[in-house]
Amino acid sequence: MGGRRALVTGGASGIGAATAALLAERGAQVVTVDLAGGDIDADLRRPDAVETAVAEAAERLGGPADLLVAAAGVYRIAPALELDAEAWDDVHTINLRGVFLTCRAVARRLVEAGQPGAIVNLASTAALEGDAAEPSAHYNASKAGVVALTKQLAIELAPQRIRVNCVCPGVIDTPMLRVLDSEAGAVWVRETVPLSRLGRPEEVARVIAFLASDEASYVTGVALPIDGGLTA
């Protein structure tokens, strides 16, 4: 990762923080963006804020970021019949619109500079299957949108030598996780996840770092589950 310029959204906690730390450890210059607590504070729902943050990151990095990890997102639970339009829009604006705006801003700068790059978006196993225990139609749909967006961007940006992939984490031990709020949740993990444990943010970070690296130079447009076998 030496010489790489990385921008990590949602970099103040969880998977984003673990990824930022790993990329820095491997020699990349890293700037984190978050609503609060990142190197740059920004509301990624707003196009102007995204453009400003990406421009500031380029200044700090000494050039446009050639590695984007779009990890910013929220998790909400609500039965579909109880969801209102505002709650639906809120989740989609953060989880999908924010990823699109950030990818667009970073990719535009790379294309303008004539530089290759790599983008890794954070989706979820919720994009791949439903869940009766924690109904979250708005979250699931937003993450499925991230998968579809990733595949389309991979096709459109391939001629510019920009690879775009996403990861689909399962139950990972982060502040957003709720499955272990009870003993029943712990039992569910042991009995349902084939590896019988939670994943760690660092384990997801290592996969992200691989997809962003030259070792994955022929990989683009994939949605890779990191779930201990849950979706198998």
Q: Among residues 139, 143, 163, 164, which one is catalytic?
A: 139
User: Catalytic residue at 75?
Assistant: no
SS3 169: strand
Cα(231)–Cα(44) distance, integer angstroms: 30
Q: How many helices (H) and strands (E) does the chain have?
A: 7, 7
Tell how strand 117-122 and strand 5-9 pair up. Answer: unpaired
**128 close to 225: Cβ distance less than 8 angstroms:** yes
State how far Cα 37 lies from the chain centre. 17
With CA atoms as reference, report the closest residue to 144 among 162, 163, 160, 129.
129
Biggest alpha carbon–alpha carbon distance for the chain? 53
Angle at which helices 98-113 and 137-157 cross, to 10°: 10
Cα separation, 171 vs 119, in Å, equals 23
CA separation for the pair 43, 56 (Å, rounded): 14
- Residues serving a catalytic function are 139
